[in-house]
Amino acid sequence: MASRAIVDANEHQEPIYLDYRGRYDGILGWILSTDHKRIGLMYLAALVVFFLAAMTLGFFMRLEQWTVGQTIVDAKTYNTLFTVHGVIMVFLVVVPGIPATLGNFFLPLQLGAKDVSFPRLNLTSWYLYMIGALIIFLALFTSGGLPDTGWTFYAPYNIRTTTNIPLAVFGVFILGFSSILTGLNFVTTMHQLRAPGMSWFRMPLFCWGLYATGWIQVLATPVLGITMLLVLVEKTMSIGVFDPSLGGDPILYQHLFWIYSHPAVYIMILPAMGIISEIMPTFARRTIFGYKAIAYSSLAIALAGSLVWGHHMFTSGQSYTANVLFSLLTFLVGIPTAIKVLNWVATLYRGAIRIEPPLLYALSFIFLFSIGGFTGLMQGVLNVDVHLHDTYFVVAHFHYVMFGGTVMGLFAGLHYWFPKMFGKMYEKSWANISWALQLIGFNMLYFTMLVMGYNGMPRRYYDHLIEFNAGHQLATVGSWVLIAGILIMFANLLHGLLKGEEADDNPWGGTTLEWSIKGLPPLENFDEIPEVTQGPYDHNPEPEVVK
């Protein structure tokens, strides 16, 4: 699709991004680089470390539930385990997640651009991210000790607890700026830097996902910042905002928190949906089914998703009318989501399907995310949610969405773009094995939790009644299988990175612009800015020849 001149070029005019020697060398060449690809990889490195750390905490949480009573840690430690697990996973992994890593790397490549609109701002975002993370880690080891409020920091418990909430909350506040600036940068980039001929409806769907995400990041994140600032003020100066004993209102906190944190779910999921929309047509060797419907549904999800925060508060004492309205709006989000899923499945119809690791991850995304969607419907229903709220059902549901959705989407994207990022290929057999282990372990862990939740197991419980013990043990075994799958996957990717075979320029037969680059992308991506003459996934007008 891109001008053939690029594909035929033998040498890039500029060194590839990994070889480039600018003003600085070695580590400085990375941490002072404004190249979107290097920034994407720096995010990725940090993110993998945070993910593994939080996963380890999750491992210990599950282990603690092995027996009734104490298994390995006391109640106070358990409460900090789930708090820190949640804070890291939400604020440092899944929210920045795909946009910061694969988004940074591939957005300009897919658009046919040399970089994002504001490269230095982009590097600033990375520094804010690292500073925010550092502050959160300081909060763990300084006075008061590890936060124990849960990742939601609910008032007035956040005011009462003596643990180090101010620092943790300040870290989240800083991270917010990183997210806002990334969103702003991406939205601007898509408005300004699309290659000639790339109309909005010739833009790849991964970009559409990032576009919708960018707007939520810009519009919703400030609310989180304000909320965290108010907690900080209340906590340090005893000015009543959320604590009723100081004249504040704890329900106000919940509104403010979820006005951000519900749309944040769409910050997490929309880019992952974009990745699935890339992978399905590539491995079906045909165009995507219902391109415009998928693009518009991203915007519809972003818009409707911003109006449903109150469904986290059906049992809080919120008014009947508000509950009914929030429930209705919640169901509206289900419609564009259903359209996406059905269009992905339809994309397989009359394709010439190659079953490769990225496709397997994408299919498990569709499967797990659909379960997340259906269990979401169950909680959107008012009377059923009253029963399910604050039980394991909710915990399992959002792991189906954020883990089965966002993280599986990230894994799918990593396996898809790995050859273009590093010029190497991982072992496909090991990728398949780790995928299968993850799928089995995931469902053992979280499907069991769905059942336990329906039977009334409350979340954030250090201990459990004996009748829940069998379920807890099954879930814990599931967590071991899942973790084994994840570790094998990372080991395989690392091995591919260091010792993998050299990859072809376009091993999967992708049609978007990043695949038109020969070998690894050079410093400014394209020797010559490509001219776009057709839709992003038109495989068959000029069928790609694949080995």
Q: Which of residues 430-469 bind another protein (CB under 8 A)?
A: 454-456, 458-466
Determine the interface stretch with another protein among 54-62, 257-265, 375-383, 437-445 (rule: CB under 8 A).
Answer: 375-383
Min separation Cβ 394 and another protein, Å: 10
> Which DSSP symbol is given to 289?
T
- For residue 424, the surrounding DSSP H or E stretch is strand 424-425
Assess 514 for contact with another protein (CB under 8 A): no
Tell me which of 224, 284, 301, 401 binds another protein, using CB under 8 A.
284
Q: Is the peptide bond before 530 cis (omega within 30 degrees of 0)?
A: no
Assess 501 for contact with another protein (CB under 8 A): no
Tell me which of 346, 451, 474, 497 binds another protein, using CB under 8 A.
346
Query: 125 — phi, psi (to 5°)?
Result: -60, -40
The type of residue at 379 is Q
Restricting to residues 466-495, name those near another protein by CB under 8 A. Answer: 466
Determine the interface stretch with another protein among 105-113, 182-190, 285-293, 486-494 (rule: CB under 8 A).
Answer: 285-293
Q: Do 464 and 472 touch, CB atoms closer than 8 A?
A: yes
Restricting to residues 123-142, name those near another protein by CB under 8 A. Answer: none
Min separation Cβ 212 and another protein, Å: 18
The two structure tokens encoding residue 77: 């430690």
Terminal alpha carbon distance of the chain? 19
Q: Which is nearer to another protein, 9 or 73 (CB)?
A: 73
Restricting to residues 319-338, name those near another protein by CB under 8 A. Answer: 320, 323-324, 327-328, 331-332, 334-335, 338
Q: Which is nearer to another protein, 233 or 324 (CB)?
A: 324
Binding letters toward another protein, positions 49-68, x by CB under 8 A: -------------------x
Q: Do 327 and 380 touch, CB atoms closer than 8 A?
A: yes
Of 3, 29, 7, give the one whose Cα is nearest residue 18: 29
Assess 75 for contact with another protein (CB under 8 A): yes
Handedness of CA 358, 360, 362, 365 (dihedral sign): negative
Determine the interface stretch with another protein among 107-115, 173-181, 381-389, 413-421 (rule: CB under 8 A).
Answer: 381-389
Cα–Cα dist 119/523, whole Å: 13
Q: Do 185 and 40 touch, CB atoms closer than 8 A?
A: no
Q: Which is nearer to another protein, 325 or 497 (CB)?
A: 325
Min separation Cβ 294 and another protein, Å: 10
Min separation Cβ 538 and another protein, Å: 6
Assess 428 for contact with another protein (CB under 8 A): no
Min separation Cβ 282 and another protein, Å: 11
Determine the interface stretch with another protein among 116-124, 178-186, 302-310, 340-348 (rule: CB under 8 A).
Answer: 340-348
Assess 339 for contact with another protein (CB under 8 A): yes
CA distances to 47, 155, 308, 355, 381 from 326, rounded to whole Å, are: 34, 22, 5, 41, 10
Of 258, 274, 400, 391, give the one whose Cα is nearest residue 330: 258
Which of helix, strand or coil describes residue 544?
coil
Q: Which is nearer to another protein, 349 or 498 (CB)?
A: 349
Q: Which is nearer to another protein, 114 or 460 (CB)?
A: 460
The torsion of the CA quartet 202, 206, 207, 210, rounded to 10 degrees, works out to: 150
Pairing outcome for strands 501-502 and 424-425: antiparallel
Tell me which of 366, 475, 486, 503 binds another protein, using CB under 8 A.
366
Assess 3 for contact with another protein (CB under 8 A): no
* Residue 180: CB atoms within 10 Å: 21
Restricting to residues 147-176, name those near another protein by CB under 8 A. Answer: 148-150, 154, 156-157, 160-161
The two structure tokens encoding residue 56: 């380890």
Min separation Cβ 29 and another protein, Å: 42
Assess 391 for contact with another protein (CB under 8 A): yes
Number of residues forming the site for another protein (CB under 8 A) = 90
* Residue 127: CB atoms within 10 Å: 13
Cα–Cα dist 228/225, whole Å: 5
Q: Which is nearer to another protein, 50 or 82 (CB)?
A: 82
The two structure tokens encoding residue 155: 């008032």
